[in-house]
Amino acid sequence: EIVLTQSPGTLSLSPGERATLSCRASQSVSSSYLVWYQQKPGQAPRFLIYGASRRAIGIPDRFSGSGSGTDFTLTISRLEPEDFAVYYCQQYGSSLLTFGGGTKVEIK
């Protein structure tokens, strides 16, 4: 089973700052199967990025994804108040899904 490790666990930033979130896989992952979600308290996850770098419909262009192999990154170029949330990466392979442990982006 592929393990996804997200870092940092918590990111304390101010609105307008840049957020860089990491997702590292225990073995190589197909980029096309690497996905990012956002989750706010009391809500279901929201689909943000697929194929490591392709934004879902309606996702602002301040969100961008990159990476390949075992190292992937979600970048939020300028944090808006509504972006403070928990972010999860997820991979799919061999009919199995795994999620990373999440990174909480909190207001500093």
Dig out the tokens for 98 from the structure: 């795994």
d(CA 67, CA 97): 19
Instruction: Point out which span in 16-24, 66-74, 75-83, 90-98 binds other proteins (CB under 8 A).
Output: 90-98
The letter for the amino acid at 91 is Q
Q: Cβ distance 62 to 77 under 8 Å?
A: yes
Q: Whole-angstrom distance between the N-terminal and C-terminal Cα of the chain?
A: 35
Q: Which stretch binds other proteins (CB under 8 A): 11-19, 21-29, 46-54, 70-78?
A: 46-54
Number of residues that bind other proteins (CB under 8 A): 27
Binding footprint of other proteins on the chain (CB under 8 A): 1, 30, 32-33, 35, 37, 39, 43-47, 50-51, 54, 56, 88, 90, 92, 95-102
